[in-house]
Structure 1
Amino acid sequence: MAPPRYRDKVVVVTGGSKGIGRGIVSVFVENGAKVVFCARGAAAGEALEAELNPKGPGCCRFISCDMSKEEDIQRLITFTVEQFGHIDCLVNNAGWHPPHKPTDDTSAQEFRDLLDLNLVSYFLASKLALPFLRQREGNIINVSSLVGSIGQKDAAPYVATKGAIISMTKAMAVDESRHRVRVNCVSPGNVWTPLWEELAAQTSDPDAAVAQGQGSQLLGRMGTEEECGLAALFLAADASFCTGIDLLLSGGAELNYGFKSQMPTFEKDCIT
């Protein structure tokens, strides 16, 4: 077996109990890291902690945390330093994709709430972790989304938060280069997670929605939670000359032409 690639490094993962976050926590523990991860609900986090710790070679600690609250973010960082003495890597992953909704039907408060969770939490966690990351010449990994670059129908607030994460990554990479802290971003496309399954279930034909999701990639399938974890591990452990990049984890979904017009067809337009 290959030696662990992140042995004894201390990693904080937000939103780590399910989906992409779960994949990231699992891969880092499998590669020898000491991981502190958080989520709002305790059951899934405690279950993952109990599952991973006996396997090693790393370890993990779960803490319940609401990433829309600054005091909870501070508690997360403080807990990590008290437990392990330092921080080598912060993975900002906590976030939510609301059900698709037209702009006309979206309230300002809904937009503000999503900004707090998907974007402001990334800024605050980075700000509070940076004094410790600078001591270790560590790194930050921000989980964005492919749609932050290419857009998505009926999801303007979500796309705005993810696009801002990409831009903030680049700006913070500039600022933190003086401290040799790298700041990078990973932008997954369609990844099979509980959230994807939940959103598909809300459509009129869930099976068709899943099939469409699979067919959106050149590789003909969705990504996996583990592949997201491996991408994060690459940025943390191997990509030592990369900062300010946005790594597309998309299976080629952004490539090639496809029928995308939402305009009426000529025939429909001519019916009187």
Structure 2
Amino acid sequence: MFLADKVIFLTGGSMGIGYECARKYAAAGAKVIVVANEPVSLEATIKELGSEHAAILCDVAKPAEVKAAVLQTLQRYGKIDAIHNNAGIAAPSKPLHSTTDEEWEQLFRVNLKGIYHTTKYGLDALIASRGCILNTSSLVGEIGQENHAAYTATKGAVNSLTKSMALDYAPYHIRVNAVAPAAVWTPMLRKWNSEQASEAAMEEYLKHIHPLGYCPEGDVIADAAVFLLSEKARFITGCILQVSGGAELGYRRVLNGSERIMEGK
């Protein structure tokens, strides 16, 4: 029970990686406040977790809604021990010149300004609890990605922001870290995969970009998140933890659909 009696404010917690984190946090003994802007999945998630946890409908890009969600959490639980900034969007998949102003702004409103809002309104509670912050980043924030310029820009910014926040809040004994997945099977990724010319070929590609040989489910990210929010990670801050199966290592290319990926060729 690594997170016994902890109160965790989790954004984007009703689907994908966030949903897996909500389940793992609850199993580790935490009270989970699942914050999301999609009511159907939010209701289903909190029904699964149980009544000791809470669901709050909230758009992290809207400061008034985030402020209200934080206040609601404090009124019910009296504290916040951790904020996990997991809410994010990935669309559109375009090069920079094809990205519209609104697409650019929306990516930054959700993926970055959402972190600003939760920190602004939740910091006093974290100072009181000597809590911690976890941001969900992405490996592409470090290595880049074709036809995904605005998204990768937001995740690169999340990495830098995480390190600066770690320095700013260390005097308050608040740790700030990030997890950086490569590809992870989520509803969003499965939908994208279904739209490709060959689903089977793309599944093979997603499998083999990871040297460990498979594209994981979100539970592998959730296990790392539990560790980073626990006392086991009490002397870790400013860390961008790559939970990527080694996808960032070496040179790799697919020879054809049936052969293994070769390294260093």
TM superposition score normalised by structure 2: 0.93
* Residue number among 39, 43, 49 corresponding to 1:42 in the alignment: 39
202, 209, 213: which one pairs with 1:209? 202
The residue type paired with residue 189 of structure 2 is W
Partner of 2:28: 31
Query: What is the distance in 1 between the residues matched to 2:152 and 2:95?
Result: 13
Q: Does 1:257 align with 2:251?
A: yes
Q: SS of the residue aligned with 1:8?
A: coil
Secondary structure of 1:74's aligned partner: helix
Residues in 2 aligned to 1:146 and 1:222: alpha-carbon distance in whole angstroms: 14
Aligned to 2:261: none
Q: Do the aligned residues in 1 keep the contact of 2:34 with 2:46 (CA within 8 Å)?
A: no
1:79 paired residue number: 72
> Percent identity of the aligned residues?
37
Deviates more, 1:101-110 or 1:212-221: 101-110
Once residues 95 and 103 of structure 2 are traced to their aligned partners in structure 1, the CA distance between those partners, rounded to angstroms, is 12
Q: Measure, in 2, the Cα distance between the counterparts of 1:66 and 1:179.
A: 28
Deviation per residue, 1:182-240 (Å, 9 max, x gap): 00111011111101101112222222212211111011111222111111110010210
RMSD: 1.3
Structure 2 counterpart of 1:67 = 60
Tell me how far 1:259 sits from its aligned partner.
Answer: 4.1
Q: Provide the rounded CA distance (Å) in 2 between the counterparts of 1:115 and 1:99.
A: 12
Structure 1 runs of 4+ with >2 Å offset:
none
2:173 to 156, 174, 180: 180
Task: State the partner residue of 1:97.
Answer: 90
Indicate if the aligned counterparts of 1:9 and 1:33 stay in contact, CA closer than 8 A: yes
Letter of the aligned partner of 2:2 in structure 1? R
Decide whether the 8 Å contact of 1:99 with 1:199 is kept in 2.
Answer: no
Instruction: Please say if 1:136 is aligned against 2:129.
Output: yes
Unaligned runs of 5+ in 1: 261-272
Which residues in structure 2 correspond to 1:5-16 (within 5 Å)? 5-16=2-13
Cα distance in 2 between the residues matched to 1:205 and 1:6: 42
CA contact 1:200–1:209 (8 Å) conserved in 2: yes
Q: How does 1:144-155 map to 2 (within 5 A)?
A: 144-155=137-148
Residue 247 of structure 1 aligns with an amino acid whose one-letter code is: L
